[in-house]
Amino acid sequence: MSGLIDHYSGVVCDLDGVVYRGPEAVDHAVEALSALPVPVVYATNNASRPPEEVAAHLTDLGLHVTGRDVATSAQAGAEELLRHLPGGAAVLAVGGDGVREALRDNGFRVVDPKAAGADPGLRLGGVLQGYGASVTASDLAEATYAVAAGAVWVATNTDETLPTHRGTAPGNGMLVAAVRRAVGRDPIVVGKPYAPLYVLCASRLGLSPHSLLAVGDRLETDIAGAVAAGLDSVFVLTGVDSVRTLARAPHDQRPTYLLPDLRELSEVYVGAETDYTWWVCGGDRRRVVDGAWDVATKGSPVEAARSGIACLHEALDDDEIDLATADRLAAELDEWQ
C-alpha cells in the first residue's frame, strides 16, 4: 500500500514548530523530510530573515536546501505590491533584512524608516511591514504617516505570537495592530492564513495547489491558509496547537490529516470513518453518549485521536455538545501535551 505522500506531487512545509524550534530541529523532522520522494518548499510567515539565511539554518540542521527552496511572507508581500505599484516605486521597508531583500529583488526602491523620517516630503508608493527584532516605535510611526498619506499597505502576516527557543514572543501581528489602530484601516495581508504565500509556493514548484500537501502545526495560520488556497493539509502535533485546540477548530481550520510527527508522511494513513453510530479508526471505535466517551474498543493514541476528533466535530456541528464538553473530552485523547 502507498504512503500518504505518494498521493501528492509536492509539499509546502511550515518551519517553526514543524522543522525546528529556535536553533534546534524538531525530533525526526530532518530524517523524514530528507526521505520524501517529492519536492518541498519551506514556507514561513517570519519575514525577518532572507531565504538564503533560512536555507543556511536548514542546511546546518542536515537538510539539503537552497534559498530557492524557501518562500517567505516578505516575498509574497513584494509580489503583492507589484500588482498595485509600477516598477521602481519607492516602498517603505519595515522589518528585518528579509523585507528589504524581497523588495529589492522585485525592483522597488527600498526606503528605510530613518531615511523617510529625514525627508518628510518623500512620496512613498507603498509600505511592506514584516517582523524584525529591531523594529522601533519610530519605524511604526513612519509606516503610519505613509499609510495615512495614501501608500499601499501590505503586511507580511498578522501572527500575534512568535515561538522562540526561550518561549513565546510578540509577533508581527502586534506591530501591525499598532499601525492599524493609528490609521483606522486594515492592511493587505499575504501570509498565512491567507492564500498568497501558498500560491507563491505552488508557482515556484510549477504545480497546481490541488496537487500539493501543506504541513503545519498552527491551525489558525498553516491549516487555515491551506484551506484558503485549496491545498490538502497535515496537522502535526509537534508545535503550538494540540488535539484539544483541534477539537474546537472551526471548519476553515480543520486539516485533512492528523499526524503525531513527520515520520508518518511516508506511512499508510488510516483515517476515521463512521457507520453513523460509531466513529472508527483502526482499532479504535467510539462515540459520545450523554457528554461522555462510549468506547467499544480502544486503539493506539493516534487512532483514538483521529476517531475522537471526527466524532467531536460531528457532535459540535450537529449542536449535540458545546465547546466546553468538546475540550474536556479532547483532553482525554491528548497524549502529546
| Active site members | 14, 16
Q: How far is it, in rounded angstroms, from Cα 98 to Cα 51?
A: 7
Contact indicator for 81, 126 with CB cutoff of 8 Å:
yes
Q: Is there a contact between 91 and 126 (Cβ–Cβ < 8 Å)?
A: yes
| 80, three cell numbers | 503583492
Residue with cell 466546553: 324
DSSP letters along 209-226, please? Answer: GGGEEEEES-IIIIIHHH
In whole angstroms, how far apart are CA 72 and each of 26, 78, 119? 20, 10, 30
Give me 57's grid cell: 539554518
CA distance 313 to 33: 30
Q: Which three cell numbers stand for residue 115?
A: 531615511
Question: Which candidate, 11, 59, 19, places its Cα nearest to that of 238?
Answer: 19
What is the C-alpha separation between 239 and 225, in angstroms, rounded? Answer: 17
Spatial CB neighbours of 319, under 8 Å, sequence gap ≥ 6:
none
Q: Are 266 and 32 in contact (CB under 8 A)?
A: yes
Q: Is the peptide bond before 193 cis (omega within 30 degrees of 0)?
A: yes
Contact 106, 132 (CB under 8 A): no
Measure CA 18 to chain center: 10
